[in-house]
Amino acid sequence: MSKILKKIIGNRLALLGLIIVMSLFVVAVFAPVISPHDYKNINVKNILMPPSTNHFFGTDDLGRDVFSRMIWGARISLAVGFVSVGISTLIGITLGALAGYYGKYTDMIIMRFVDIMLCIPGFFLILAVIAFLGPNIFNIMIIIGLTSWMGVARLVRAEFLSLKEREFVLGAKASGASNFRIIFSHILPNALAPVFISAVLGVAAAVLLESSLSFLGLGIQPPTPSWGNILTDGKSNIEIAWWLSVFPGLAILITVLGYNLLGEGLRDALDPKFKK
């Protein structure tokens, strides 16, 4: 772990990504302490006020402090990212491990199912399911997780196909170890490097997807703040309140950039194919 951290610190872009990710994590965890105002507090006297010393990012069309709403929105966006990626990673690891280890008909059935899922436009599938089930944070996390596991499954399958014929696996079989023990104790720990990279990049994709859904009105519903629904307010008032579009847009940009930079740094540190 220390070697990986040293490699990330030695890579300026990866270090920048790590700083961004850790900063967002701190903001999300300590939102109640950092937030200068109550994000739900409506004040008709402060409607659409520009950025000032009292309201750093201005106010929205209900007089609520945008800076406070963005801080709480970071908690929502990152929660959706982590939970949905956790669900997709768990499904992908399980199916990819079964397909790669057992091969033959198991591999054929699982991978054909993966191909079918990849043929379905993911965003439109999510829109259809959310329109049917209703937009709330739990539905969004589950649906994003259930529709984004295919890449992880293919990565894990490829690693298992490469590792299952290695000497340490053959030795475990010869010693009488069960298939379950071989899969989860011997092969899987050696196949997790690309999964970690995919998970980090997946958080960025999930944050972007949640913001898109909220922008369309099918994501996190007001008054709960999300960067996407703050952008929706900005669209309605873009001619007179530029800050409602600029600040949440920058937050999404910086978050996605941070996770992508960290993912690239992890790839260089964990995957020997990319070592320079």
pLDDT (0 to 100) of residue 175: 86
pLDDT (0 to 100) of residue 109: 94
How many Å apart are CA 192 and CA 97, to the nearest integer?
Answer: 11
Confidence of residue 246 (pLDDT cuts 50, 70, 90): very high
pLDDT(275) > 60: no
Phi then psi dihedrals of residue 76, to 5 deg:
-65, -50
Predicted TM-score (pTM) of this structure? 0.86
pLDDT(276) > 50: no
pLDDT (0 to 100) of residue 272: 55
Confidence of residue 254 (pLDDT cuts 50, 70, 90): very high
pLDDT(168) > 70: yes
pLDDT (0 to 100) of residue 51: 92
pLDDT(229) > 80: yes
pLDDT (0 to 100) of residue 66: 93
Q: What share of the chain is helix, strand, coil (3-state, %, to 5)?
A: 75, 0, 25
Q: Which domains does the chain have, with CATH numbers?
A: 2-34+55-274 (1.10.3720.10)
What is the average per-residue pLDDT within 4-31?
86
Q: Please name the amino acid found at residue 98.
A: L
Output the six-digit token pair for 271.
């995957």
Write out pLDDT tens, residues 69-84.
999 999 888 899 899 9
What is the average per-residue pLDDT within 179-189?
88
Burial of 150 (0-12, 13-18, 19+ CB in 10 A): buried
C-alpha closest to that of 216 among 139, 141, 124, 133 = 124
pLDDT (0 to 100) of residue 27: 92
Confidence of residue 10 (pLDDT cuts 50, 70, 90): confident
Q: How high is the mean pLDDT of the chain?
A: 87
Confidence of residue 26 (pLDDT cuts 50, 70, 90): very high
Q: Contact 159/102 with Cβ under 8 angstroms?
A: no
Confidence of residue 179 (pLDDT cuts 50, 70, 90): confident
Residue bearing the bigger pLDDT, 269 or 27: 27
pLDDT (0 to 100) of residue 203: 92
How many Å apart are CA 26 and CA 19, to the nearest integer?
Answer: 10
Write out pLDDT tens, residues 98-142.
999 998 899 999 999 999 988 888 788 888 888 888 888 888 899
Residue 166 — left, alpha, or beta (φ > 0 → left; ψ -120 to 50 → alpha)? beta
pLDDT (0 to 100) of residue 1: 56
